[in-house]
Structure 1
Amino acid sequence: MEKTLDELLCAAAMAGNSAMVRDLLLRGADPSFFDSEGKTPLMHAAAVGHGEVVRCLLDAGAPWNALSPSNVSAGDLAMENAHQEAFDVLLNFAIQAELVLGTIARGGGDGEGAASQEVYLSERVSFGEDRIVDAESKAVMMAWEKPLMEAHARAICCFGDVGGKILNVGFGMGLVDEAIQRYKPLEHTIVEAHPEVYDRMIQSGWGEKENVKIVFGKWQDVLPQLGSFDGIFFDTYGEYYDDMREFHQNLHRLLKPGGIYSYFNGFCGSNAFFHVVYCQLVALELENLGYSTQFIPLPVKECISEDIWKGLKHKYWQLDTYNLPVCQASLDSE
């Protein structure tokens, strides 16, 4: 049986025949075609490391973020097979695409992120021994994150020229705040917007700690009363990437020179390549604001078992490694 143009394009991509790929595209072959294996021409080219073909297909409109039935992207295939050239081409293209379009982790604009947060703040949450769950049975925070929160606290309390004033935006289960307290900060400010979480904080005695100041409200509303800090951690629920980007625009007024900023790096926690894209995207945008970012890889496979997701709608983290961000004002920034 004669192959279609689309099938021939997959074969040419797999063979690394860039001339044939260009010819087939000119003849109308579809760069977004999925073959019987559930792969696109771009996936085939990335899997075998044909960087030139990868670039050609992307330029022709091949979707870099298409997923196979097993949730694998072209970038994942390049990573798994250690094809650096193909990986670099895909990563650079993906970052540029996200800067322009924001197709995988943002709320899509039009206030969708704000709307999602408003819904979360207006609904009840359920408190369990190992989790907080929203009204849609999605986890707000889970106990398996405790080692990560301890590492975040260590980063913002012990790195750089820290003088002891710490800010955490988003209390949740209080895991990072418990860890921060062990470093005995001079001042420890906590911003929390959900009324039930806030009430639970008060009932648990957080308002009685001498060095703790609790600020109830959305961070966007309480920014003017926060002051400046040596260390900042950001971890809100019900917001999208654009909301965190807005927070980053205000870092210069919140973070003291030499201070350390970190955030919960949960973007695209079910796809390794998408996660790398967002690590690099955030680092690039922070660099443009005058901050350098390093990522500390933390193995989390042992922290997560299939059982912990029982009763939940969404497995928000499925990767073996968590990349903990440590951000600091660049030495040459003003």
Structure 2
Amino acid sequence: MAAPPDSKADKSPEELLCAAAAAGNTDAIAEIVSSGADPTYFDGSGMTPLMHAATGGHAAAARLLLDAGAPWNALSPSGLSAGDLTSDPTTYDLLLDHALRSELILGTVARRQVPSNSSDGVPAESYLDSRVSFSEDKVMDADSKAVMMEWERPLMEAHARAVCSGGGGKVLNVGFGMGLVDQAIQRYEPEEHTIIEAHPEVYARMLKLGWGEKKNVRILFGRWQDVLPQLGSYDGIFFDTYGEYYEDMREFHDQLPKLLKPDGVYSYFNGLCGDNAFFHVVYCQLVALELASLGYSTQFIPLPVKDCLSEQVWEGVRQKYWQLDTYHLPVCQAESEPE
């Protein structure tokens, strides 16, 4: 007698693995994986076994699949990862912990992410050699990707408030863009306001707008890596470069003990993985861990941005570099010495 159409005999090992994961059947998962089933498999709906386990809130099943090599960062056709699909706190924490450990060791997502507005990795040299265009609400690169946009103004004002919280001291901003954060910093009347800008056209526009004539402003033209010897120590630092990779931001963080005064405040544009909620949380945690290894504690202040981002905002922009409802503004300070 022939087996019914939906029997196990008609399913591949990977299909059986997806079914076991969806049911949270750990014994079946262990048996199917040990027989050679591929845990990286995508089924007909674009879901991996780990996504099925996460959707069902089956933490034990998710752990087995992760141990078997299931990718935590695989995406469904709608751009969701297993971490995005679960509503179970235990499963979410398991996936987050695994993702952090994986990124600390392998950096699988970091290699294709940059710390500012571009989300697909534009090498700094290519950006600096390309033309940029200016309008009232955005600065665009030669590929119609946004370098900075007007919708960011409230965020930049919040960043300025954070790095100027110590009063009228010395402030450093790395990356001018549209000058949104620098306009906000000026309202705090800092003693010294140093701006680093590497793109020749942006630099020329800064001078045309009169930034070089402000008494408390010092402009350094070039990549931050090249002007480091000209820098001092600062009460507040903001970092927002375009066309640099995550590793470049980590390299800048290594300089913080020399650049930031002991009671100073550091912040950066937190655009990492701005198109995926779970990836974004992973990178908030990752940066916080790496800053902690340098002696800094990081607080993330949630700022709602959904109302700032209508479809009209992105007209003419090739890629939406931010698609989340909440922006997590980082405030980093040196950890207090224990008494």
Report TM bin, short chain: over 0.9
Does the 8 Å CA contact 1:162/1:259 hold for their aligned counterparts? no
Cα distance change on mapping 1:250 and 1:162 into 2, 3 Å: farther
Whichever residue aligns with residue 122 of structure 1, its letter is: D
Aligned equivalents of 2:281, 2:154: Cα separation in 1: 21
Cα distance change on mapping 1:115 and 1:40 into 2, 3 Å: closer
Q: What secondary structure sits across from 1:121 in the alignment? A: helix
Q: Percent identity?
A: 68
Select 1:279's aligned residue among 261, 277, 284: 284
* 1:93-150 superposed Cα distances (whole Å, 9 cap, x missing partner): 11111112212232499xxx99810111111100011000001111000000000000
Q: Alpha-carbon deviation of 1:26? A: 0.6
Partner residue in 2 for 1:166: 171
- Name the stretch that deviates more: 287-296 or 25-34: 25-34
Select 1:24's aligned residue among 32, 48, 53: 32
- Is 1:221 the counterpart of 2:226? The answer is yes
Cα distance change on mapping 1:290 and 1:71 into 2, 3 Å: same
- Is 1:149 the counterpart of 2:156? The answer is yes
Q: What secondary structure sits across from 1:106 in the alignment? A: helix
Q: TM-score, normalised by structure 2?
A: 0.93
Number of residue-to-residue matches in the alignment: 326
Does the 8 Å CA contact 1:168/1:191 hold for their aligned counterparts? yes
Structure 1 segments, 4+ long, off by >6 Å, are none
* 1:146-191 superposed Cα distances (whole Å, 9 cap, x missing partner): 0000000011111xx5551100000000000000011111111000
Matches within 5 A, 1:95-244: 95-107=100-112, 116-158=123-165, 161=166, 164-244=169-249
Instruction: Give ranges in structure 1 of 5+ residues lacking alignment.
Output: none
Instruction: Give ranges in structure 2 of 5+ residues lacking alignment.
Output: 115-119
Cα distance change on mapping 1:114 and 1:308 into 2, 3 Å: closer
Select 2:317's aligned residue among 308, 312, 320: 312
Does the 8 Å CA contact 1:167/1:188 hold for their aligned counterparts? yes
Partner residue in 1 for 2:57: 49
Does the 8 Å CA contact 2:303/2:328 hold for their aligned counterparts? yes
Partner residue in 1 for 2:44: 36
Cα distance change on mapping 1:219 and 1:91 into 2, 3 Å: same
Aligned equivalents of 2:122, 2:92: Cα separation in 1: 35
Cα distance change on mapping 1:220 and 1:115 into 2, 3 Å: farther
Give the superposed CA RMSD: 1.8
Q: TM-score, normalised by structure 1?
A: 0.94
